[in-house]
Homo-oligomer: A and B are copies of this chain.
Amino acid sequence: MNDHTGFLDIFPRSELFADIEEGKLPDVHSYGRQCAYEPGVALFREGDPADKSFFVLKGRIKLTKLHPEGRETIVRYINPGEMTAAVSVFRERNYPVTAEAIETSEVIAFDRETMLEVMRAYPQVAINLLGIVVERLENVQSRYLEMQVERVEQRIARSLLRIMKQSGRKTDEGILIDFRLSRKDLADYTGTTLYTVSRILSSWEQRGWIATGRERIIVSDPHSLVAFAETG
């Protein structure tokens, strides 16, 4: 097994190197610099000049966007095997979001030149990356649309299901959201307040759809939740 396939082992879920012949894979790992981040530490902040992009090896990263008036929105969670800021790097720009570790995380950082070099040498990497970005665009567009036409309760249901799919882990009590997720976090993610989230989660808990704890949610009856999200 050579360096290249080793790289693929590290990023099993990465679509970035799909459709490239084994022998022709770029040796990206040797270019990158591995770093570790503790919870609460920012990889980069909104507005910083974008000079690096990151592969998440371990842990979990939270992307947030700040509004001038102070409120923040959670844009997305980045899981192991996924990449963030891969694109801000191409345009000499600033990061449009803040990336913060919410668990002890290990990432590999790539600089602008490396990314461009790899993409010019391996157009398929650029094409794959395009696919990833498009998917994210569609994701945000869906959330945007939901925000317009759906009531808060439905939006929370949908968001919880989305997070569950992305970061859930099966247990015997149901599907556990596998990281600290407070009422405030969920509120920032769905564009509401922690009070409303609390009320709604309580009502779901009474109905037996979920089980909650401090910064912890288990979806015990995903089916009902899906049904609710679809029909209102």
In the complex, chain B residues whose CB is within 8 Å of the CB of A124: 120
Given A65-B141, A134-B133, A137-B140: A90 and B127 within 8 A (CB)? yes
What 9 pairs between A and B have smallest CB-CB spacing?
A148-B191, A126-B126, A123-B123, A87-B134, A67-B149, A71-B149, A96-B138, A137-B137, A140-B140
Q: Which of B91, B116, B145 contacts A67 (CB 8 A)?
A: B145
Q: Which of B73, B88, B136 contacts A149 (CB 8 A)?
A: B73
Q: Chain A binding site: helix, strand, loop or mixed by DSSP?
A: helix
Q: Are A145 and B90 in contact (CB under 8 A)?
A: no
Query: Which residue on B lies nearest to A75, using beta carbons?
Result: B141
Q: Are B130 and A90 in contact (CB under 8 A)?
A: yes
Given A67-B145, A71-B149, A191-B148: A123 and B134 within 8 A (CB)? no
In the complex, chain B residues whose CB is within 8 Å of the CB of A148: 67, 71, 73, 147, 191
Q: Is A131 an interface residue (CB 8 A)?
A: yes
In the complex, chain B residues whose CB is within 8 Å of the CB of A68: 230
In the complex, chain B residues whose CB is within 8 Å of the CB of A71: 148-149
Query: Which residue on B lies nearest to A116, using beta carbons?
Result: B127
Which size class do A's interface residues fall under? 35 or more
In the complex, chain B residues whose CB is within 8 Å of the CB of A147: 144, 147-148, 191
Complex interface residues of chain A between 204 and 232 (CB less than 8 A to chain B): 230, 232
Complex interface residues of chain A between 27 and 66 (CB less than 8 A to chain B): 65
In the complex, chain B residues whose CB is within 8 Å of the CB of A230: 68
Given A123-B119, A149-B71: A133 and B144 within 8 A (CB)? no
In the complex, chain B residues whose CB is within 8 Å of the CB of A73: 144-145, 148-149
